[in-house]
Amino acid sequence: MLNKLFSREFFSERPLMIANGLALLSMTITVLRVLTTVRQHNSKVGVSYTEYGADTLRLGEWYTLYEFAIFALISTLAAVFISARMCKVDKPLSYTVIILQHVVLVFLFIVSGALLSASNVAA
């Protein structure tokens, strides 16, 4: 089944496999960080920054912080799948997709960490 979804070039391209593996590892770290940090609260927590600066947070329910983990999961799986499918057609584009996903995961890790610490949702 994997042979129908992914080309042989994808599995033989070692740097691309390493890049995809690192993306999956980064995604796992981000998801675990969010899942282990967010705790249930009855009060509203800061879920996003506003245009008024870092001192003002937009308030929302505590479980909306799980959106960071969901976004990391969906975007990484999509990037790995697109990268694998594009490997046969255009290898540089395949590398570009997975490198851009690394950039997205780094920003997601930073922003989610800032919001998690600013929201005081840790136990």
Mean pLDDT rounded to a whole number for the chain: 81
Q: What is the pLDDT of residues 64-93, one digit of tens each?
A: 888 889 999 999 999 999 988 888 888 899
Phi, psi (rounded to 5 degrees) for 52:
-90, 0
Q: What is the pTM of this model?
A: 0.79
Longest alpha-carbon distance in the chain? 52
Q: Please tell me the total number of residues recorded for the chain in this structure.
A: 123
Would you kindly state where each structural domain of the chain is located, as residue ranges? Answer: 12-37+67-123
